[in-house]
Structure formats: C-alpha cells, structure tokens
C-alpha cells in the first residue's frame, strides 16, 4: 500500500523523465550562466533571435566583479534554435526543474545554470525553466547539458563574429576601442583594469591605478599610470597609449596600448608582447 509513495520519493532518472509529458515544446531562447563566488566572476552565453529575426549567440565574460565584461556577438545559422529545441524535446528538458535541490551547500562557491525560454500559444510572454547544476541530478544529466552547450559552440564556430565590446554595467554603455574612437581617460583606465594574460605573463589592474606586471625584467613589479596620451602608438589600432612608471627608479618606463582587444606591452626599445583578456 506504500509503493506509490515510495516511487514519488525516488529521485527521477533520465529515462523516467523522458516518459513524462513535456511542459513546453517551443524553445525561443537559451541562457547559460556561470558566476558568483568570492571573486564575482560572470560568464554568460545566450542564444536568441534579434529584431531582424537573425539568430544570435552572445558570449559575455568577466573574471571579477570589479572589471568590465567583454562581449562577443555572433550571427549563427537560422536553424540553431530549432536544433536546440529538438535536443530539449528529446530529453524532455522542459521539466528538468523537478530534480530535487542538493542537500549540500558550498559557501561562496560560484553557481551554474541553464535557463530555457519557451513560446506559449496565445500568450504575449513566454515561460521559462531554469536548470540549476546544483540540483541533485544523475551523472548522465550533466553529459546531456554538456552536449547541449556543444551544439551552441558548434554554431559559433560556424558563425560570423559581428560585434565585440566591453560593457560598463555601472553606466550601462558599450566601450569600443579603435583609432577613430575617442576613449576618455576614465574609459582607458577601465579597459586596462581587467585581467590580461599570455601564458605565464600576467597583468593585474586595480582601481588604485597600480598595475602589477609579470613581464620579463619587470616581474612582480608595480607600476602607476604616469600619462595617458591620446594618439595611436606606432601601428597599433587604438587612439591612445599609456606610459607607466615604476615604483622605484630602477624600473624603466613601459608603454601600453591595444589592438583588436589584445593589450600590448612595449619596452622603451619598442619590443611588443600582447596579452589576451581572460
């Protein structure tokens, strides 16, 4: 007489979920989020159709809460959302929020989730289902989620990069860099106060305008912004460059500028090393 109660208390399996009735079946948007934790990182991948009915994948990344987010906007194949929708229906992912909450909680840990938006016939606004990676799911469920994200990655690899910029959430505006774009001193400082790296070479920025650079003879030395000069440096594609001075007289000045979102460090002899943002 207690069999039915026992079955309801059992953790759902992928096979049992696939046999249930789907809640929604017309995917219109998908959003992957990973972030939070002690450093306040933020990584978001979003698939949607824009006002021109183009299918777009927006990829956003910020390694810390106090630095700007870098956006990369791709136009991908028109059938991308249709393929994702078929995948969602195959695994009945519109009801995956029935997986129970995990009994364990890790304090100050980042969180990960996938939010699926669905069109609903007769409704102006759709409905959403958020699948938290913190839920108590079988191991196979994470394989399914990984394969879902691989479909998005494949569409990006076959798509076209149509825009890239840094976004200032405080001022709600995009920041671009180029020879024909006038960046203010404040813009320049926000851009370089990011997390840049190239192999073992790192540059760290902070709001106190102190840069700790691990770069050859300048390893683990601190530099301050001496001057921001609003003109291109050599043949690099930015309308500015920065002169940095060391904390002691032994450190020779170095120069910073940008080119296609690569941050270049040059010594006084003009030797370049570029750093990619994380």
- In tens, the pLDDT along 120-157 reads 999 989 999 999 998 889 999 999 999 999 999 999 99
Task: Report if residue 250 sits inside a domain.
Answer: yes
pLDDT band per the 50, 70, 90 thresholds, residue 114: very high
Q: Which among 46, 65, 59 is positioned nearest to 169, based on CA atoms?
A: 65
Together in a domain, 98 and 183: no
Together in a domain, 162 and 208: no
Task: Report if residue 113 sits inside a domain.
Answer: yes
Q: What is the DSSP letter of 218?
A: G
Picking from 144, 166, 188, the residue at the C-terminal end of a domain is 166
Together in a domain, 197 and 112: no
Together in a domain, 193 and 162: no
Task: Report if residue 145 sits inside a domain.
Answer: yes
Are residues 114 and 91 in contact, defined by beta-carbon separation less than 8 angstroms? no
Q: Which domain holds residue 50?
A: 3-166
**What percentage of the chain reaches a pLDDT higher than 70?**
90
Task: Report if residue 171 sits inside a domain.
Answer: no
Together in a domain, 30 and 130: yes
Together in a domain, 83 and 155: yes
Question: How many residues make up the chain in this entry?
Answer: 278
pTM comes to 0.85
> For residue 206, what pLDDT is reported?
60
> For residue 249, what pLDDT is reported?
59
Residue 238 has pLDDT above 90, yes or no: yes
Picking from 126, 142, 166, the residue at the C-terminal end of a domain is 166
Picking from 131, 166, 201, the residue at the C-terminal end of a domain is 166
235 phi, psi to nearest 5 deg: -105, 20
Of 80-84, 95-99, 113-117, the least confident: 95-99
Render pLDDT for 164-213 as a digit per residue (tens, 0 to 9). Answer: 999 998 899 999 999 999 999 999 988 888 878 877 777 776 655 677 77
Together in a domain, 110 and 79: yes
Together in a domain, 154 and 187: no
> For residue 6, what pLDDT is reported?
42
pLDDT band per the 50, 70, 90 thresholds, residue 23: very high
- As given in the structure block, the two tokens for residue 54 are 């183009």
Task: Report if residue 90 sits inside a domain.
Answer: yes
Task: Report if residue 252 sits inside a domain.
Answer: yes
Together in a domain, 207 and 162: no
> For residue 102, what pLDDT is reported?
74
Of 106-110, 226-230, 272-276, the least confident: 106-110
Together in a domain, 138 and 186: no
Strands in 98-220 per DSSP E:
110-118, 127-132, 160-168, 173-175, 195-198, 201-204, 210-214
Together in a domain, 238 and 196: yes
Together in a domain, 118 and 213: no
Are residues 116 and 131 in contact, defined by beta-carbon separation less than 8 angstroms? yes
Residue 5 has pLDDT above 70, yes or no: no
Other CB atoms within a 10 A radius of the CB of residue 208 amount to 8
Residue 253 has pLDDT above 90, yes or no: no
Instruction: Report residue 183 CA to chain centroid gap.
Output: 23
Q: The CATH number of the domain where 50 resides is what?
A: 3.30.1560
Mean pLDDT is highest, among 29-33, 41-45, 203-207, 243-247, for 29-33
Q: How many structural domains comprise the chain?
A: 2
Q: What does pLDDT average to over the chain? A: 87
Task: Report if residue 124 sits inside a domain.
Answer: yes
Q: Report DSSP letters for 229-241, one per residue.
A: E-S--TT-SSS-E
Residue 52 has pLDDT above 80, yes or no: yes
| Strand order, beta sheet including 27-36 | 127-132, 110-118, 27-36, 41-49, 55-62, 69-75, 160-168, 173-175
236 by Cβ neighbours in 10 Å (0-12 / 13-18 / 19+) ranks as buried
Residue 76 has pLDDT above 50, yes or no: yes
Task: Report if residue 173 sits inside a domain.
Answer: no
> For residue 108, what pLDDT is reported?
67
Are residues 239 and 179 in contact, defined by beta-carbon separation less than 8 angstroms? yes
Secondary structure element (H or E) that encloses residue 170, with its range: none
36 by Cβ neighbours in 10 Å (0-12 / 13-18 / 19+) ranks as middle
Of 66-75, 84-93, 198-207, the least confident: 198-207
């Amino acid at each position: 007489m207690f069999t039915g109660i026992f079955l309801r208390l059992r953790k759902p399996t992928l096979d049992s979920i696939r046999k249930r009735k789907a809640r929604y079946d017309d995917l219109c948007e998908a959003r992957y989020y990973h972030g939070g934790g002690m450093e306040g990182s933020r990584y978001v991948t979003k698939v949607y159709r824009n006002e021109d009915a183009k299918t777009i994948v927006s990829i956003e990344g910020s390694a810390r809460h106090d630095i700007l987010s870098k956006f990369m906007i791709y136009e991908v194949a028109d059938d991308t959302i249709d393929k994702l929708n078929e995948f969602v229906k195959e695994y009945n992912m519109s009801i995956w929020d029935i997986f129970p909450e995990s009994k364990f909680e890790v304090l100050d840990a980042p969180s990960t989730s996938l939010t699926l938006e669905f069109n609903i016939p007769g409704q102006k606004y759709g409905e959403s289902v958020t699948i938290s990676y913190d839920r108590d799911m079988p191991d196979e469920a994470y394989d399914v989620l990984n394969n879902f994200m691989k479909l998005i990655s494949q569409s990006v690899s076959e798509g076209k990069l149509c825009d890239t910029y840094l976004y200032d959430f405080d001022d709600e505006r995009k920041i671009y860099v180029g020879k024909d774009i006038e960046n203010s001193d404040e813009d320049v400082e926000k851009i370089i106060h990011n997390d840049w790296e190239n192999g073992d070479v790192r540059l760290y920025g902070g709001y106190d305008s102190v840069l700790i650079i691990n770069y050859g003879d300048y390893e683990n030395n601190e530099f301050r912004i001496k001057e921001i000069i609003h003109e291109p440096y050599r043949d690099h594609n930015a309308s500015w460059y920065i002169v940095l001075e060391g904390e002691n007289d032994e450190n020779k000045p170095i120069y910073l500028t940008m080119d296609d979102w690569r941050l270049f460090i040059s010594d006084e002899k003009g030797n370049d090393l570029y750093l990619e943002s994380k």
